[in-house]
Structure 1
């Protein structure tokens, strides 16, 4: 509406967003990201931990089958690489096996810098089924 050759406030249409609306949106997104990203990263670490535990159990099963066949655990150099360095976890954990005298074993999974697992750290499993650490949530 034009009054005296000038535009009135009601006749001017505004398009777009105000700066305050954009800032509120940015703050909301930042708050959601601050909550979601750490939760997501913890979930990813836990899934890698579960993968390495499954690999350790597969390796333990292999070692027990070898023991049942020969009454001795194989030397760590005789263990297939596919069991000690599975492709899905090799960039997150390093798996080592110590069979000592052939009558016992200890499987150790050490997190790499990509995993950075401060909650559980190094995981171990021996021939008796003892698992460390015993912290809640480390072994499922």
Structure 2
């Protein structure tokens, strides 16, 4: 009697099917986790920009002073990139108020973030997000 060694095609196909099922479950969950951790880029950039605008307000008594570098960077619809280049920061500046918006950059993983979408932050500290989770994104 001869002993055979190796795998049959059926055994190999069962392993491939199991790997396919695991991948189908794990990959979307992995992408959600990546999107969730990348949201920190928007939050950090918004908070940093807000702090810089607050320093301008403390110095010049208005947010949109021409002497304020960050206000000049954001005037007339201009944007600045977030730290990881996953979001662009835009602002609606007035003398005594501002609203900052972080919009996901097209072509990044964040562009398909339907749970949070755009993040907003105002001079009063009001936080918001455009997706299904809303304020819970913060």
**TM-score normalized with structure 1 length:** 0.79
2:42 corresponds to: 52
Q: Deviations over 1:37-73 (max 9, x none)?
A: 0011011111111111111101111111111111111
2:134 corresponds to: 135
User: Structure 1 residues 69-78 or 55-64, which shifts more?
Assistant: 69-78
Q: Matched residues in 1 for 2:42 and 2:56: separation? A: 21
Q: CA RMSD in A?
A: 2.1
Q: 1:137 to 1:31 in 2, by over 3 A?
A: farther
Q: Matched residues in 2 for 1:77 and 1:57: separation? A: 15
User: How many residues matched?
Assistant: 124
For structure 2, the 5+ residue unaligned runs are none
Determine if contact 2:41/2:82 at 8 Å carries over to the other structure: no
Instruction: Select the residue among 119, 124, 131 that pairs with 2:115.
Output: 119
Which structure: greater helix fraction? 2
**TM-score normalized with structure 2 length:** 0.80
C-alpha deviation, 1:135, in angstroms: 2.4
For structure 1, the 5+ residue unaligned runs are 1-10
2:103 corresponds to: 110
Determine if contact 1:99/1:105 at 8 Å carries over to the other structure: yes
1:95 corresponds to: 89
Q: Secondary structure at the match of 1:128?
A: coil
Larger Rg over CA atoms: 1
2:5 corresponds to: 15
Q: 1:126 to 1:43 in 2, by over 3 A?
A: same
Q: Secondary structure at the match of 2:89?
A: strand
Q: Matched residues in 2 for 1:72 and 1:136: separation? A: 28
Determine if contact 1:45/1:117 at 8 Å carries over to the other structure: yes
